[in-house]
Amino acid sequence: MTPPQSLPLLAIDDLHVTFSTRRGLVEAVRGVSFSVAAGETLGVVGESGSGKSVTAFAVTRLLDASGRVSQGRIRFAGEDITKASSKQLRRLHGAAISMIFQNPRGALNPIRTVGQQIADAIMAHEPISSAEGRARALELLKAVLIREPEKRLDAYPHELSGGMCQRVMIAMAIACAPKLLIADEPTTGLDVTTQKTVMDLLSKITAERGMAMILITHDLGLASRYCQRVCVMEQGKVVEEAQPLALFSAPQHPYTKRLVAASPTATSTIADLAPEALAPSAVSHSPHPEEAAPAAVSKDGLVVSEPPGASFEPKPAASPQDEGSGKTKPAPGTPLLLEVQNLVKRYDRGVVAVNDVSFAIRAGESLGLVGESGSGKSTISRLVCRLIDASEGEILFDGQAIGTLPARDFHRSPLRKDIQIVFQDPTDSLNPRFNAFDCIAHPLRRLLNMKDGAALTARVSECAERAGLPSSLLERFPHQLSGGQKARVGIARAIACRPRLLILDEPTAALDVSVQAVILQLLDRLRREDDLALLFVSHDLNVVRMMCERTVVMQNGQIVEQGESLALFAAPQTEYARTLLEAVLHLGGPTAR
């Protein structure tokens, strides 16, 4: 036996993982090597499809039946576990290596109490009575700082919040004192404030118990704050490995550079997000993404920015955005475009989604609406878009009360074309039976009564090009497009009728950070070109700070604070806004804050 001290706790050497799919073998991990020392926290960062989660599941040998380790070695405490029998693995699982998953609620058995599940985890490795198991479970619940642990012991997962479920998951993972904890996107889907408390808890526990942790995440900010070392993965390979400070201040690999640039920081501007927007790897796009191996498809698969659009409308010269602020401030005298007064939305059973909300947007202005889930921000976007009716309050557009016409009949209103919306999930927002052309042409046909013909075709390709969608893709159906391309179709559709107010409901929440960067730039450019007013709904404070001159902070259906973005972000006036801001992660390593 070699003394374990001299060895890393986990050493991955040239790992390859292949999946057998209908289209043959697909290699999701292509030669990954890294190691983790005992007690160390390693971040593995990458966008979707980078193979980061597959690597984690390969380490714990929990891959789907269709996936297998085809090459390479995984040594845990010196032993190669790629060859371990299922019996040996069972002894490792939980006791030596354990995992924490994304979507904590789904990761718990819905019909078994939390206490029983924690006890199950202990009893899998230690021969103890169920009474002892219960006592140990209680201790663990206390350790993960759950309030009223005695009561929670007999609770079912659905009775707990997402953050509490994740704490329970952590309790189960640490129950048998494993040496290594693998956390796979442990905070994705949780609100920012919850995200912070969960991560703080995780790092406290691993530090106290001397556990090593692999934190798998798409969020550079998260990795930079909580990890001692970070690996960046792209298309199944590790492209760069360094300490967070070094990595983010001086990235070496082009991909890392792009990723770091695209990640919003406390001071970044829209223009900063993709300085190398024309980087060669981003321009190439596969003509048939569905036929190419996933690894070969570039993230967005698209021409990233400007060139084609430049030929349409010359940029207004010497406007403020050229100074890199990314913002235009409408002159103080600009009339109000949208005015929302004392808006209330009640649902059945007395749920009040929006409670007495008032705000206004000037023509050409961009207003950000931020809040955690359940704050009512999405309801407001639908109210303003006149897709649903308010229970009380008024909506004035251009001085006209538009709330008087019921949402059911609003499609007949002449203002219908002036208020358009871009939805959160690009996949969900396109009719699966329409190709990209029809998606974009639909509002033109309905609202401008355009008939099929050269004019319509020209208008559609113009919109597509302005949204950065090559006209060669117009014949494609949604399932043949990448996420970023679908987002562009959605944007092209929304700007087709040249609206005056564009509502953006979390337009980039479902996109990878590098795609988000180009989409944000696109939106910002369109806004300047068309003098569009934006209502930008988002949970991401960094993005709102960059995109909007003014920001409204919401909580539980009410406005907590509103004001100029710069002032609000620099010195929030309310406790809630401060908590929200503090929870935001910025790049720059553990020492940044």
Q: Which two tokens stand for residue 67?
A: 């996936």
Q: Which is nearer to another protein, 97 or 585 (CB)?
A: 97
Q: Which residues bind another protein (CB under 8 A)?
A: 60, 62, 65, 89-95, 98-99, 101, 103, 106-112, 120-121, 124-125, 156, 158, 169, 172-173, 175-176, 382, 385, 387, 408-409, 411-412, 416-417, 419-421, 423-425, 428-434, 439, 442-443, 446-447, 490, 493-494
Q: Which is nearer to another protein, 276 or 530 (CB)?
A: 530
Is there a contact between 17 and 59 (Cβ–Cβ < 8 Å)? no
To another protein, the closest distance from the beta carbon of 430 in angstroms equals 5
| Among the listed residues 585, 567, 569, 586, the one whose alpha carbon sits nearest the alpha carbon of residue 577 | 569
200 Cβ neighbours under 8 A, 6+ residues apart: none
Residue 119 CA, chain-centre distance (Å), reads 34
Q: Which is nearer to another protein, 503 or 517 (CB)?
A: 503
Q: Which is nearer to another protein, 328 or 420 (CB)?
A: 420
| Among the listed residues 496, 508, 497, 573, the one whose alpha carbon sits nearest the alpha carbon of residue 537 | 508
What is the rounded distance in angstroms from the CA atom of residue 48 to the CA atom of residue 235?
A: 9
The sign of the CA dihedral 464, 465, 470, 475 is positive
To another protein, the closest distance from the beta carbon of 567 in angstroms equals 33
Q: DSSP letter for 327, please.
A: -
Q: Which is nearer to another protein, 20 or 573 (CB)?
A: 20
N-term to C-term CA, the chain: 43
To another protein, the closest distance from the beta carbon of 58 in angstroms equals 13
To another protein, the closest distance from the beta carbon of 364 in angstroms equals 21
Q: Which is nearer to another protein, 8 or 94 (CB)?
A: 94
Give ∠ CA 511-59-25 in degrees, rounded to 5.
Answer: 65
* Cβ burial 27-65 (10 Å sphere, 16+ → b, else e): bbbbebebbbbbbbbbbbbbbebbbbbbbbbbbbbebee
Q: DSSP letter for 311, please.
A: T
Tokens 């992660």, residue?
585
To another protein, the closest distance from the beta carbon of 90 in angstroms equals 5
What is the rounded distance in angstroms from the CA atom of residue 215 to the CA atom of residue 166?
A: 15
To another protein, the closest distance from the beta carbon of 407 in angstroms equals 8
To another protein, the closest distance from the beta carbon of 198 in angstroms equals 17
To another protein, the closest distance from the beta carbon of 444 in angstroms equals 9
Q: Which is nearer to another protein, 112 or 593 (CB)?
A: 112
Give ∠ CA 37-87-89 in degrees, rounded to 5.
Answer: 25
To another protein, the closest distance from the beta carbon of 564 in angstroms equals 29
Q: Which is nearer to another protein, 158 or 498 (CB)?
A: 158
Beta-strand pair 10-21/67-76: antiparallel
CB-side exposure of 333: number of CA atoms within 13 Å?
A: 0
Q: Which is nearer to another protein, 183 or 559 (CB)?
A: 183
What is the rounded distance in angstroms from the CA atom of residue 387 to the CA atom of residue 408?
A: 8
